[in-house]
Amino acid sequence: MIQDLGATVEFVNDTMVVNSKGIQPLASGVNCGESGLGIRMFTPVAALSSEQITINGKGSLLTRPMNFFDEVLPQVGVQITSNNGKLPLQIQGPLQPQNITVDGSLSSQFLTGLLFAYAAAFPNPSNGRAEDTVTITVKDLKSKPYVDLTLKVMEAFKMNVPENKNYKEFVFHKSQISNHQSQIDYTVEGDWSGAAFLLVAGAIAGEITVKGLDVFSTQADKKILEALQDSGCRLSIQDKQIEVGPAALKAFHFNATDCPDLFPPLVALAAYCEGKTVIEGVRRLAHKESDRGITLQDEFGKMGLEIILQDDLMIINGGKGLKGAHVHSRHDHRIAMACATAGLRTASEVVIDEAEAINKSYPEFYKHIEKLGATVTIA
């Protein structure tokens, strides 16, 4: 996507070198694949250009709601046409920061894109603004830790970081910071979302040591450590590695409202915990790659796990063991990984249709769980 928007990318060993002179689209269209984060983050950034750009995707992304952009972008000077609130989007900027109010209840990722775009465009003498500040007001913001991560990245890249007023207002002040830094060196944090499956695998199937995670990270999915600790597994958290091992696992209560991507690994963990595990935040699951609440209920049900969905709660009756079964990923990378993780303890094999869905976020996942003794065959 960044190459479509004019950046050049070069890989040198394990380093990616990106050069950019701002948003200069190379084509009239950008395809975000199946990445919800990609389209939510890059649409406001692409709108910094004055050229007409079509933003599209594929698979489940085509059915996910994008009404946010229909409502917000016209308020900041961007023309937009959508397919009744879904893809494709046709936009034409340039985006001009204004005082606006947005809904943060569906995903913090929409706000991340706006924060990046505002930082690049304000102040900009060409938009004729005389004010010293511009404010994004947010109602009912979810996944606040990811907003913290956004602001942390903006600071690392020497962008104009807004003043955070209790996650309700983000105020940009006129800044002397140049948007054209000569060079920024940045090390990408290890991904707690993907690592959560490995950590759960260690708790239910065999000892594991996971390296490369920042235990001081602001990533919301770091909270998997709280669930693991509450479940009673053996857990050792060190500066440079985390060690997890099986034990007598017990049910736990967990609020996943700010980290909904943890639901799939949490279900795999809860399946082997004695008693009723309760996870809050089910409403956050409706607009993922699949409706994950129902998908988890259906696919884990095939393995013999009872999951009850009650308002905003997921109740999991675990500790009775799972059976091998033929399940389907629903083209959802986290469902595929959750089923595979749970399958590490089933007496017979788990067959996952559309198992290649993991390629979206963690292509080496199956190779990694093989190190725990799993036998993985890709048909």
Q: Which residues are catalytic?
A: 261
For residues 271 and 251, the answer to whether their CB atoms sit within 8 Å is no
3-state secondary structure at position 235: strand
- The C-alpha atoms of residue 69 and residue 343 are separated, in whole angstroms, by 40
Signed CA dihedral, 39, 122, 172, 179: sign only:
positive
Tokens of 362: 């963690």
Edge-to-edge strands, sheet with 313-318: 253-255, 275-280, 313-318, 306-310
Q: Which letter does DSSP use for residue 250 in this model?
A: B
Token pair recorded at residue 339? 């089923």
Q: How many CA atoms lie within 13 A of 12 on its CB side?
A: 3
CA distance linking residue 177 with residue 195, whole number of Å = 36
Give the pairing type, strands 253-255 and 275-280: parallel
- What's the CA gap between 161 and 357, in Å, rounded? 36
Instruction: Tell me which residue of 266, 258, 252 sits closest to 197, measured CA to CA.
Output: 266
Nearest to 136 by CA among 104, 106, 109, 105: 104
**Tell me, what DSSP letter sits at residue 289?**
S
Give the whole-angstrom CA distance, residue 162 versus residue 119: 8
Spatial CA neighbour of 210 closest among 200, 221, 223: 200
